Each structure stands twice: as C-alpha cells, then as structure tokens.
A = this chain, B = another copy of it.
C-alpha cells in the first residue's frame, strides 16, 4: 500500500483524499489543515488522521476539541508520497519540506511549472512522470484541454488550436468572489496563461487562449476550435472522443443544457459531492468546417484533477504504467462508462456513499 499524505484539505485535497482511500493499492496516511473548520470536522468523521500545518496552529484545533495526530512534518515523514493541495503559491513554499524528507510530491496547477520536474496529465504525460521526485498536476482547465487535445493530436494532428475559456467567477463556497452580472475579459491580454501552461504538457502545440470570467460558480465552459492537420468528419471525431474514458460526450437525449443539469445528473447518479470528473462535451456541438473542428465542453473545476492526482501518485511511486493506473483509478472511484455508467448502480460504484475509515487508518 502506498501511504499518501494530503497536505491541504480544501476543495481539491478533500476530494483527492477520498479518491486515494478508494484505491486498492493506496491508503491516506493523514490530511493536514490550517484551521478547524467544517472540512476538518468531516475529515475526522471520515477517520482521516488530522495534522496541523504548523505547530503554531495546534492550539486552535485543541480549542475546537479536534484531535490532532501531529503536525505536517510528521505527516510528510510518514508518507510514501505527499499530495500538496494547498492554495496556489503555498505549494512552492512547501517544496523544501518534501525534499528534506525525501518524499516525492504532487503539486497542483496553481503553482508555477518550475515547482516540479514534470507537468502532469494522465493522458498526455504519465510516462514522463514515472519515478520523478516531483510532478505538478496541471490546472483544471489545462487538464480538460490536455485530455481533449491528446487524442485529437494523435488521430488528426493539430495545426493550430484556439480556445475561449469562459471561467466560473469562483467556486460555490468562494463567497468573496465576483463578478456579479458582468462578463469580464480576464485577463484582457492574450494569450491567457492557459496556452503557455498547455505547452508545459505539449511543448510543440500551437495554441492561443482567451480567458473570460462570468457570474457562475459551477463549471468552466470552453469554446474550442482546432484546425486539424488532416481531414476529419464530425462523426469520426465524436467516436474518437467517446472512446476516451475521461471525456463524456453528452448525448442530446439527456437534455443537458449547462453545468446546473450536469451537476444534478452527477448527484442523482450518486457521485460524491456531485463531482464531474470527466470533461463534459456537448455531442451536438462537435462540428467540422473544412479542417476546423469546433466543440463546447464544460469542466468541473473542483473535480477533474482528482483522478489525475491519483494517477500522479502511482507515476511517482512507479508502481504501474499509464493503462494500469488509469484503469485502477477509474474502477475504484466509479469513473467507468462516464457519469451514465455510475447511474446504473450508484451505490456499488460510489466510494463516498460507503462508510469511511476502513482501508487507511
């Protein structure tokens, strides 16, 4: 069993911990948190050993009556791999701690690429990450685009890609974010950081990205254009994408018009927290005009990097190849057959509806 410490137990960390626990070859060594809030309470109820991020913070946990297993340096020492899910920029500050303990580390996409040896996407750069001391799972948007571009590049070649990312203003819990009733170019400058970030995974990809921000919290929505190197028709592209386990090509008969219905579908299907781990691509949007491919996809910013973090653990531990790891990950969390597969037998497939606390503490 790979003992995995999760440093940072917020939006991403709590999801990654649950996904790690669901794996047959991994256990959660513990989770580290800055403050004893509602998420810390759930961590304890799920049986995760709870660590404070530093010694100065332990009093707050004691005052709240939360039992601590120790501080984060102890967690790192006891872990085979650490997943750093702290806020953007904090991961880089933690890198030295992981090096001191010689513990391989997984960082998140909010960090600069140079925080780690490899920018990681399971579909596109798994092999490059095997045995690395540090990898950075690229951001939710870059993950969503990497998953999409990898099979398209293999099948047709990409002459040029252009993406407008219509980003949610903040997550549902980020009540200090905006905008309200406005549509902001964000950043105004072109390209947005997403294009250069994609180049950390695909160095030769010619891609221009434009970012916007809107008053929505549920998902990002991408309008994607890819000028293909070779001719294609929409139906063959549809089949190509539909064969990818982390791309969910929405059939029109589901009558899903946006992120609200997608999340409701995932909740009804028994997905933990209503998570959409897959890119959600509108099947009817897949269009080819000449060599120009167009489509819309929605990206659940809280969830799509979760299976990628699990695969990154196996990559740095070097215990499985890509095919083995992605299959293990998806079987364990119930990401087979896309959200629709889960719908058929939600209780058996969803780890979150089972009792916690058995396999890793």
Chain A residues engaging chain B, CB cutoff 8 angstroms:
160, 162, 164, 166, 168, 179, 181-186, 188-191, 208, 210, 212, 214-221, 223, 225, 252, 257-260, 282, 284-285, 287, 289, 292, 294-296, 298
Nearest-CB distance from A220 to chain B (Å)?
Answer: 8
Given contacts A166-B214, A214-B166, A214-B216, contact A184 B257 (CB under 8 A): yes
Given the complex of chains A and B, what is the CA–CA distance between A214 and B259 in angstroms? 11
**Identity of the chain B residue whose Cβ is nearest the Cβ of A250 in the assembled complex:** B188
Find A282's partner among B179, B185, B223, B285 (CB 8 Å cutoff): B185
Given the complex of chains A and B, what is the CA–CA distance between A293 and B160 in angstroms? 14
Find A284's partner among B168, B188, B216, B287 (CB 8 Å cutoff): B188
Q: With a 10 A CB-CB cut-off, give which of A162, A188, A189, A252 has the most chain B CB atoms.
A: A188
Number of copies: 2
Task: Please determine whether B189 and A285 come into contact, CB atoms closer than 8 angstroms.
Answer: yes
The 10 closest A-B pairs by CB, nearest first: A185-B296, A190-B287, A182-B258, A183-B221, A184-B258, A164-B223, A164-B164, A214-B214, A210-B223, A190-B294
Task: Please determine whether A258 and B179 come into contact, CB atoms closer than 8 angstroms.
Answer: yes
Query: What would 16 A/B residue contacts be, using CB atoms closer than 8 Å?
Result: A160-B292, A162-B292, A181-B260, A183-B259, A184-B221, A185-B223, A185-B257, A186-B257, A188-B296, A189-B284, A189-B285, A190-B287, A191-B287, A208-B225, A210-B285, A212-B223
Task: Please determine whether A181 and B284 come into contact, CB atoms closer than 8 angstroms.
Answer: no
Chain B residues within 8 Å of A191, by CB? 287, 289
Task: Please determine whether A208 and B166 come into contact, CB atoms closer than 8 angstroms.
Answer: no
Given contacts A162-B225, A182-B216, A183-B219, contact A189 B259 (CB under 8 A): no
Chain B residues within 8 Å of A285, by CB? 185, 188-190, 210
Given the complex of chains A and B, what is the CA–CA distance between A325 and B71 in angstroms? 75
Chain B residues within 8 Å of A166, by CB? 164, 166, 183, 212, 214
Given the complex of chains A and B, what is the CA–CA distance between A258 and B166 in angstroms? 14
Task: Please determine whether B282 and A188 come into contact, CB atoms closer than 8 angstroms.
Answer: yes
Task: Please determine whether B215 and A260 come into contact, CB atoms closer than 8 angstroms.
Answer: no
